Amino acid sequence: MKRTDFSHLRRQLANKQGREYWRCLEELADSEHFRTFLTQEFPRFRPLWDSHLSRRNALKLMAASMALAGISACGRQPEEELVPYVNQPEHVVPGKPTHYATASVIGGYGHGLLAESHEGRPTKLEGNPEHPATLGACDIYSQASVLSLYDPDRSDSVMHGGNASSYDSLLAELANKQHDWDKTQGKGLALLTGAVTSPSQYARLRQLFERWPRATWHVHEPVDRSAVYAGTEQLFGQPLEAVYDFSTARIILSLDADFMQGQPGFLRYAHDFSTGRRPRDTDQSLNRLYTIESTPGITGAVADHRFPLAYPHIEMLARRLARFLDIQITDPDAIVEAPWLEAIARDLDRHHGAAVVVPGDQQPAAVHALAHAINHRLNAFGNTVHFIEPVDVAHQAQPLETLVESMKNRQVQDLIVLDANPAYTAPADLDFASAYRHVPWQLHWGNYYDETARLSRWHVPATHPLESWADVSAHDGTVSLIQPLIEPLHDGKTVLQILTAITEGKNRKPRELLRDYWHDRHEGNGFEQFWWRSLNEGLVADTAAAYMTPQPRHDWQKQLPSARPARQTGSVILQLRPDPALWDGRYANNGWLQELPRPLTKLTWDNALVIAPALAESHNLAEGDMVRLQVGQQTLEIPVYILPGQPADAVTMHLGHGRSHAGRIAEGVGSNAYALRNSQQRWATPVSLSATGRQQPLAVTQQHHAIEGRDLLRVGTVSDYRQNPGFAQSHEPQESLYPESWPAVPESDHAWGMVVDLSACIGCNACVTACQAENNIPIVGAEEVRHGHEMHWIRVDRYFEGPLDTPRMAFQPVPCMHCENAPCEYVCPVAATQHSADGLNEMIYNRCIGTRYCSQNCPYKVRRFNWFDYTSAEADYPAEPAVQNPDVTVRSRGVMEKCTYCVQRINATRNKADAENRPIRDGELMTACQQACPTSAIVFGDLADQHSEVSRLREHPLNYAMLSELNTRPRTTYLAAVRNPNPEIEEF
Amino acid sequence: MLKPIRKSMETEQPIHWKRVHDLDDFVYFDHQSHINNGVGCESCHGRVDQMPLTRQAKPLTMQWCLDCHRDPGDRLRPADKITTMGYDLKKDNLSGKELIQHYHIDTDQLSQCYTCHR
């Protein structure tokens, strides 16, 4: 690949007039490579046969296809059997799904869900509208967890010394162990868990430690939040959990906090944040977000002002900010260039009681102490930030380091690992695996026979949350009951079962265990009613934690560590981050998440080292160049990815890749960042970097479907909007090449349409995953993604604008536009794509013969073609039949497909309304993307109903249609994004 | 003749029925909306009362479905006659047009591809 000339790019950007958006460096540079890529008919059309095809072979193949086409067209369907229930369960109507409230566990915290079940088979998860952490939205991890339920690579048997064994033999051995532990009061017994927010699990753990008081409890959560508790302890004298209220916040400063994707409560935070910044809903001033971040993330991308700053500098910045706000602390000795900081401080200071500073979970304790000291100064306590007792009770457990220390000193005889995988996730310098081998007896409980399980004497398969009876707390303490949708597929055990087995040596029923706990806890009569109501509603009423009113200690400043010395110039910082799809690696074997284009990099499958353009320039690196990283004795080779907006002196690598024993999907994908992790500096450490001269192509989707030089994305500032509310409007063409009357006469009672609010979109990908689950969208693998064959029906385009090193960013979700004058429909030779009376652009799979003319003619490039067999058992990544939505056709090879506006939901809602003899209510019908969206960025409804929300938004001055000059008259339109920059900061 | 059914109830083992009316997997059919809109059992299943062994009486081809979807009027019947065998609309002095209005049937909608395929 030709090197990018960065100085040329910078000159080009400096000469740009007005606001111009670009998607990737190659497009900006207008490189020859990129042009060739785009002009091969269109990017996804790659010559499939590189080999020379002779005339003779061509004739042979033609003859064969004629013959085969004849055969396949004959005959009736194979005979099928119907097997009805003998005793039909109540409320079950075959063909109609039922919904149950349950919850998923994300980073230890509960997200309330409604699970859709088809004849006892869960296929789709939605957020529970009553649950405070989701409010009806659904995050990517919860959404994709339904695929993991059916993962054929899940552990399916109790393992003993590497051989299949039985749970009964484990129970027998545990009975002996209990005798030993009784004698020694548990000396030599250690427990290792992740975060624990389940009240029933905590009660069981307490029982265990009461019986064996000398046993020790350790916690290892790879994306650990210990700094949150350490920081509040420094400031208040006790560890506390902060719960933010963004609905009342006007000015928000994020100190490397990815609070819309990576912190407990992120869905709720994204919801609350966006309600304060949608011009469509508020006439008042919009809120303003400043993000200072070490790696471009979605919280920075949607900010009004975003400043890249390497991880170690953020503490310096927090100290300076505190001093601007008259908080007495010693001056940091390292001065960070931040001319804008004073303006931010003034803006915060002007909004006492409505401003909030959010420290990132991965930032050191000092940043948390400083941030909350600033919040105290800004009168934020009780207004925009509340404090509660830590939800994660494992914060009181000892860290992994002390466990490894004891293991090395042979003080641990028996180790029980619950749902953790330290053999993979422990920092490399601890050398967990070899210390683990020193332990004579290990028991591992988890979903996969993974890296740690393989080293353990015993392994017990865990149940998936959709198979479990359990409970879990949300970020604000609200407890949800987790009820199973299906019997355990692999005879897994719940956490309560395994803990009961350890303390009592018995195998008890999981439902009884949970019920008994809540029965003991319940006061007064009416337990039955309480139990059923809690299950039905998906949460236990009145369990949100009480707000506390902490005061900073008078000498908290003394608790602050002295400011760290300035970094030597010239060295580079390696920052580690949880992956925006795989998290800490626990979701690595989930194909939906592996193939999810990451919000900012648009990378799928393999991870890469994210570097700044300036660093690429100084090291002469191009995308895909392999570099060698060295931290201490540890080295690793990884391709680079150049991301504008990355701090120049820091590089970032995402955790969760490079698994060795995770299953067929995850193995061999990416490089393991834990191998460079240091237990002392978990999130950032100096690194040396050298080019190897080799290359590895990355599976990036950002260049596919690029439509250059057209005004697709429209963004303005609040002052633009106030001066001219219709700034995004463009002149509609008055003449038409299309034959219909103008405007078209509505033929049906309904006219479906969609409006996407770009002010609200945060680029979190929830819509992409929801669509994948709802519409049976296959995964295709890294090789196919590199050829541009990804199948997602909705893509989220990411744009850059402005300077190369500190660009502004924006997202634009693009589903099928359902054009009224759809160019695709005119070119189909077999009428496989048609227009319905209610305005849907229909795709009829059984008619499609795969000419791909429609995709060629689509100006939005939203059509997807099944180049190969992506779904059957013979596919590279076979689709699991059990997870498929029975209401949507599973497409075969050679067929075009695209967004249908979730027509199965339209039909189901219409049939329901028809049966109840009433019209369809506005808001009753939601597409999958709309339902999952935490920020209500997607609004779908009936344009024929003048009072519907979508009609209202269509009339909004910010409404514009993409490529309206083509007169395609799309049914999907956009509300231009409105940003609220601080006029004092000369940047926007 | 009902022995297998009694046995199934006793042993709680479901009967494996042979499927007679089998639409292709890319066709989505909803009994509820047909019954609620006045399509009788007989219209698609034939005179089941006169069948010693159930068989497919109608072709169930796309052409056949569309014939009715394009012009459902004369095939409709009042709600209380859905299960009646051998029903004749004319004997009741009812017209198909009235029934289409009565059931609020949107005839434009019926011949859309997405009504049955998705």
User: According to the model, what pLDDT value does residue A253 have?
Assistant: 96
* Residues from chain B contacting residue A904 (CB–CB below 8 Å): 28, 118
Cα maximum dimension of chain A: 91
- pLDDT (0 to 100) of residue A44: 44
How far apart, in whole angstroms, are the C-alpha atoms of residue A235 and residue A228? 11
Amino acid at A877: Y
At residue A41, the pLDDT reads: 43
**CA-CA distance, A548 to A240, in Å (whole number)?**
9
Give the mutation candidate from A72, A884, A914 for the B interface (greatest B CB count, under 10 A): A914
Residue in this structure with the two tokens 């260039």, named with its chain if needed: A337
Residues from chain B that touch A907, judged by Cβ atoms under 8 A, are 28, 30, 114-115, 118
| Closest residue to B112, CB basis, from A837, A846, A887 | A837
Q: Contact A911/B113, CB-based, under 8 Å? A: no
Query: pLDDT digits over A2-36, tens only?
Result: 566 777 777 777 776 656 777 777 776 666 666 66
Q: Average pLDDT of B74-93?
A: 88
Chain A residue numbers touching B28 (CB-CB < 8 A): 887, 904, 907
- Strand A241-244 relative to strand A216-219, pairing: unpaired
**Tell me: the pLDDT tens digits for A407-447?**
999 999 999 999 999 999 999 999 999 999 989 999 999 99
Question: Considering only CA atoms, which of A466, A475, A452 is closest in space to residue A222?
Answer: A452
Pick from B33, B113, B115: CB nearest A914: B33
- Band (pLDDT 50/70/90 cuts) for residue A40 is low
Q: From chain A, pick out residues whose CB is under 8 angstroms from the CB of B36.
A: 914-915
What contacts A388, CB < 8 A, 6 or more positions away?
Answer: A240, A241, A243, A476, A477, A545, A546, A547, A548
Residue A804 contacts residue A9 (beta carbons within 8 Å)? yes
Q: Residue A468: its pLDDT value, please? A: 94
Return the residue of B nearest to A78 by Cα. B22
pLDDT at A48 over 50: no
Q: What is the pLDDT of residues A635-672, one digit of tens each?
A: 999 999 999 999 999 999 999 999 999 899 998 899 99
Yes or no, beta carbons of B17 and A904 under 8 Å apart: no
Nearest alpha carbon to residue A317 among A296, A338, A294: A338
Task: Give the pLDDT band (50/70/90) at residue A90.
Answer: confident
Q: To the nearest whole percent, how much of chain A has pLDDT over 70? A: 91
Q: How confident is the model at residue A76 (pLDDT cuts 50, 70, 90)?
A: low
Inter-chain touch A747–B113, beta carbons under 8 Å: no
- Taking only the tens place, the pLDDT of each residue in A877-920 is 998 889 999 999 999 999 999 999 999 999 999 989 988 889 99
**Angstrom distances, CA of residue A914 to CA of A292, A906, A907, A925, B82:** 53, 12, 10, 14, 17
Residue B50, Cβ density class (10 Å: 0-12 exposed, 13-18 middle, ≥19 buried): exposed
Contact A82 B16 (CB under 8 A): yes
Question: Which one of B14, B25, B113 has the shortest CB-CB distance to A844?
Answer: B113
> What pLDDT sits at residue A42?
45
pLDDT digits 0-9 by tens, A224-238: 899 999 999 999 999
Nearest CB to B117 within list A79, A87, A844 = A844
Over the stretch A569-616, which tens digit does the pLDDT of each residue have?
568 999 999 999 999 999 999 999 999 999 999 999 989 999 999 999
Cβ-contact A827, A854 below 8 angstroms: yes
Contacts of A544 (CB under 8 A, 6+ apart): A132, A476, A477, A478
Q: What is the mean pLDDT of residues A65-75?
A: 58
C-beta of residue A223 within 8 angstroms of C-beta of residue A583: yes
By Cβ distance, the residue of A83, A747, A903 closest to B16 is A83
What letter does residue A682 receive in the DSSP assignment? S
pLDDT digits (tens, 9 = 90+) for A717-728: 998 899 998 888
CA distance B45 to B64: 13
Q: Are A103 and A83 in contact (CB under 8 A)?
A: no
CA distance to A303, A345, A561, per residue, from A325 (Å): 22, 7, 20
- DSSP states along A126-143: EE-TT-TTTTT---HHHH
Interchain proximity A914–B24, CB inside 8 Å: no
Collapsing DSSP to helix, strand or coil, A959 comes out as: strand
Calpha distance A243→A375 (Å, rounded): 12
Interface of A with B (CB under 8 A): 77, 79-87, 95, 747-749, 834, 836-838, 840, 842, 844-846, 887-889, 900, 903-904, 906-907, 911, 914-915, 917
How deeply is A680 buried, as exposed, middle or buried, from its count of CB atoms within 10 A (0-12, 13-18, 19+)?
exposed
CA neighbor of A254 nearest in space, from A354, A360, A374, A351: A360
Q: What is the mean pLDDT of chain A?
A: 89
Which one of B114, B115, B117 makes the best mutation probe of the A interface by having the most chain A beta carbons within 10 Å? B114
Question: CA dist A382 to A290, A302, A350, A356, A385, Å?
Answer: 21, 26, 18, 11, 6
The number of CA neighbours under 13 Å toward the Cβ of A129 is: 3
pTM of the model: 0.91
A·B CB contacts under 8 A = 87
Cβ contacts (< 8 Å) between B12 and chain A: which residues?
Answer: 86-87
B28/A844 touch (CB, cutoff 8 Å), yes or no: no
A335 falls in which pLDDT band (50, 70, 90)? low
Tell me the pLDDT band of A449, cut-offs 50, 70 and 90. Answer: very high
> What's the average model confidence in pLDDT over A392-417?
93
Q: Which two tokens stand for residue A934?
A: 């935490």
* Cβ <8 Å between B118 and A900: yes
Contacts of A83 in chain B (CB under 8 A): 14-17
Distance from CA of A841 to the nearest CA of B (A): 9
